[in-house]
Structure 1
């Protein structure tokens, strides 16, 4: 995932990237330090950002969004937003970068609306103890370089996004021109079918038939809505469920492979390692 102008702007003023992990699927987490007297602007970054300030003081200098934030303050920065900042005292903060396609998928599932027209609200320096606790207890203490923590980090980030959307709601993007894609109803039907039948036939032809579309048009519209091909979407769901089963350690690797729709245990093991950086058997060891 490209973290675009936010990372570039921070690097441009000499901010220090303390650590970062790309979790795949349009999700990246980063921890930064920026220094007193830095001034920077973010312009249409192309991805959404959830920010928690851990220490220090910063001022936002935008009409309608001016204010001062410090430790514990949260900010939401939409993909199509602009903002200008002045660091008053050395500031430490955690950023969660969320691609538009990941945002659309989660927002569509929660609000049952065509999420392609939605964006994250632009909010500065608000408090949310639940979101702050997730970052402080589930994200910051973990070793981001450890492959077995990747799914936990991704789930924590998704939970944060869902929580801020539940409390603050998405807003309609003023920059979006609607193009062809799956309706919220059809997208919900397809995602429910996939989750209910991971071991079954989830071929392109079957998924397309559920919507009454040709395979070609379904594939094009599905990717336009979710940002992923149907095959990639199914693979990601199978691996996410398999990860939880493997971690629970109650069934054999062969049974996990079959339950999640992988053709052979070898295919499952190779796909699992490519995604999580470790084999299923090594995770249990």
Structure 2
């Protein structure tokens, strides 16, 4: 668990409170705190960056100090990974104990409704996903798999795929609001699919792709993505417009175009940026704002990541 110190307001001298007897069905049990609230209490700080989506979950990036406390039951599953470094993790739940290492490529999972004592002896960075049970149930239903059992507790468990997906989600917490939101929505669904496959009591087995979008539906989806208005280009809106679940829309869109919806939109925005840089004298900061980036720095970083050049360097070279 990346630097997640759990605090108990009035710790018992004999140790932990007894674990809850049952998993909450949708995180709606009144006595359970939202994961972001409990993590803020335990870590005694605010996240460096955080973004939330009501239909998927919340991604948060933290840096916290040493931690010796109890994480109380939460309404959401918490899946976390560690961007860098190596740090010992000690976790106790009832009579069981786990000692592991927080490092890149491993994940820690705190199932909703569970409680455990954590001891982390140095400050650390951690990326956390707060995943509602309803999201897991939605993904299981859309993928045509059996309903998930309880998630398994994991402490520094090797899982390079989940770790990489979480770190990618953290990278999207700044920049273009539209692009980043769409990217996080896709990643959260991918993460939920991965968690079902690797860390649930009943592993999920997604159905194979059965085909792409029809020409008419694909054209309508692309028109929505290309829109320069305030059109809703969330994954939910795109999928609803196509008459598909989010899960199947993403798979079918990629089957049709070779790109995910986010990658397609990112490529489209890059082409718009290139045209504006080449054909107009608009300042880079104005182009960044026109394309929905929060700052010129965020736009320049995204542009360079895709082209290898800053917008200003690219403009000078191509004129």
Q: Call closer, same or farther: CA 1:140–1:244 in 2, change over 3 Å.
A: closer
Count of aligned pairs between the two proteins: 209
**What does residue range 90-239 of structure 1 map to in structure 2 within 5 Å?**
90-110=123-143, 112-113=145-146, 115=147, 118-136=149-167, 138-144=168-174, 146-147=176-177, 148-171=179-202, 234=240, 237=246
The equivalent residue for 2:283 is none
Q: Which structure has the bigger radius of gyration? A: 2
SS in structure 1 at match of 2:78: strand
What SS is found at the alignment partner of 1:118? Answer: coil
* TM-score normalised to structure 1 length: 0.57
Cα offsets for 1:185-242 (capped at 9, x unmatched): xxx9xxx9xx77959xxxxxxxxxxxxxxxxxxxxxxxxxxxxxx9997268599767
2:40 is matched with: 11
Q: CA deviation at 1:246?
A: 5.0
Distance 2:194 2:240 in 1: 25
* Alpha-carbon distance in structure 2 between the residues aligned to 1:100 and 1:171: 14
1:10–1:40 contact (8 Å) kept in structure 2: no
Paired residues of 1:39 and 1:86 also in contact (CA < 8 A): yes
RMSD between superposed Cα atoms in Å: 4.4
Are residues 78 and 198 of structure 1, via their aligned partners in 2, closer, same or farther at CA, if it must alter by over 3 Å? Answer: farther
CA distance in 2, matches of 1:143, 1:6: 18
- Which of 101, 124, 142 is equivalent to 1:69? 101
Give, in whole Å, the separation in 2 of the partners of 1:141 and 1:246: 17
Q: Does 1:25 align with 2:58?
A: no
Shift of 1:151: 1.4
Q: Which residue of 2 aligns with 1:38?
A: 68
Task: Report how far residue 247 of structure 1 moved.
Answer: 4.9
Q: Does 1:84 align with 2:113?
A: no
* 1:103-128: CA deviation from partner (whole Å, max 9, x where unpaired): 10112344622x2x633222222011
Name the one with the larger helix percent. 1
SS at match of 2:181: helix
Q: SS where residue 172 of structure 2 aligns?
A: coil
Quote the Cα distance in structure 2 between the aligned partners of 1:171 and 1:124.
Answer: 19
1:64-85 deviation per Cα after TM superposition (whole angstroms, max 9, x unaligned): 3522332233112222322221
| Gapped regions of structure 2 (runs ≥ 5) | 1-26, 219-235, 254-260, 270-291, 294-319
Contact 2:56 2:185 in 1 (8 A): no
Cα distance in structure 1, aligned partners of 2:237 and 2:160: 38
- 3-state SS of 1:93 partner: strand
SS in structure 2 at match of 1:33: strand
Conservation of the 8 A alpha-carbon contact between 1:9 and 1:40: no
**Aligned match of 1:271:** none
Equivalent residue, structure 1, for 2:77: 48
Which whole-Å deviations, capped at 9, do the CAs of 1:129-149 have from their partners, x for residues lacking one?
A: 22222333x223334353112
**Alignment check: 8 A CA contact 1:57 1:88 kept:** yes
Which secondary structure state, in structure 2, belongs to the residue aligned with residue 50 of structure 1? strand
* Partner Cα separation in structure 1 for residue 175 and residue 110 of structure 2: 26
CA contact (8 A) 1:57 1:91 kept: no
> Structure 2 CA distance, aligned partners of 1:246 and 1:52?
28
